[in-house]
Amino acid sequence: MNSVALLTVFAVSCLLQGAPCSGDEKTSSVALEVGDKAPAFEAAAEDGKLWKSAEHVGRKVIVVYFYPADMTGGCTKQACAFRDDLGQLKGKGVEVVGVSGDSVENHQLFRRAHNLNFTLLADTDGKVAEAFGVPISRGEKKVQVTIDGEEHLLVRNVTSRRWTFIIDRTGKIAAKNTMVQAAEDSQAVARIVDLLSER
């Protein structure tokens, strides 16, 4: 089976296994598939600066991973795995971008607590998730955390599902995973990027 077929099987199996949305989730009318052009998007990064996809897509392979919330169990495992594997991914020409409904301030705390070394985007209105077709729920959610001995209350109003996309250098969706295993996502991405390089 060639690399294109493998990527297609990966994407289709993920779509078929996708869990149904809960009642409070909103599904987008967008249904991106492998081979579709990735949407242009922008959002504030953890440093407060505007991150624009147009300035990054085409230069590297871009991994855009959506996750529910900063400082929660699965999301922390996923982020720390990307942190630990970032050198390997950069060596393959990959840039990693995490996206959640958390604020810039929440992202700053998340990065500080876990020494994260890649961009986090604050999709506080859910527009980036909607552009990719990622289901979201609206409503205030709170996470109480202790960082360096200080208590912090992280509040967000948008929560997205855990989906991962890979955008190739032509700006197209090369892979889509709607059944992400949080702690294993970075290695799954690395394997797919290796397949892309074989095309």
- The pTM is what? 0.87
Rounded to whole angstroms, the Cα distance separating 146 from 186 reads: 26
What are the pLDDT digits (tens) for 29-40? 678 999 999 999
- In this prediction, residue 26 has a pLDDT band, given cuts at 50, 70 and 90, of low
pLDDT digits (tens, 9 = 90+) for 98-138: 999 999 999 999 999 999 999 999 999 999 999 999 999 99
Task: Confirm if 68 and 157 have CB atoms less than 8 A apart.
Answer: no
Task: Report, as an integer, the average pLDDT of 163-182.
Answer: 97
- Residues that are catalytic: 75
Walk me through the domains of the chain, giving residue ranges and CATH numbers.
3-197 (3.40.30.10)
Query: Band of the pLDDT at 4, cuts 50, 70, 90?
Result: very low
- Does the pLDDT value for residue 3 go beyond 60? no
Backbone phi and psi for residue 70, each to the nearest 5 degrees, phi listed first: -65, 145
Which pLDDT band holds residue 17 (cuts at 50, 70, 90)?
very low
Q: By percentage, how much of the chain surpasses pLDDT 70?
A: 85
Give helix then strand counts, H and E, for the chain. 5, 10
The answer to whether the beta carbons of residues 61 and 196 sit under 8 Å apart is: yes
User: Mean pLDDT throughout 42-63?
Assistant: 97
Return mean pLDDT, the chain: 88
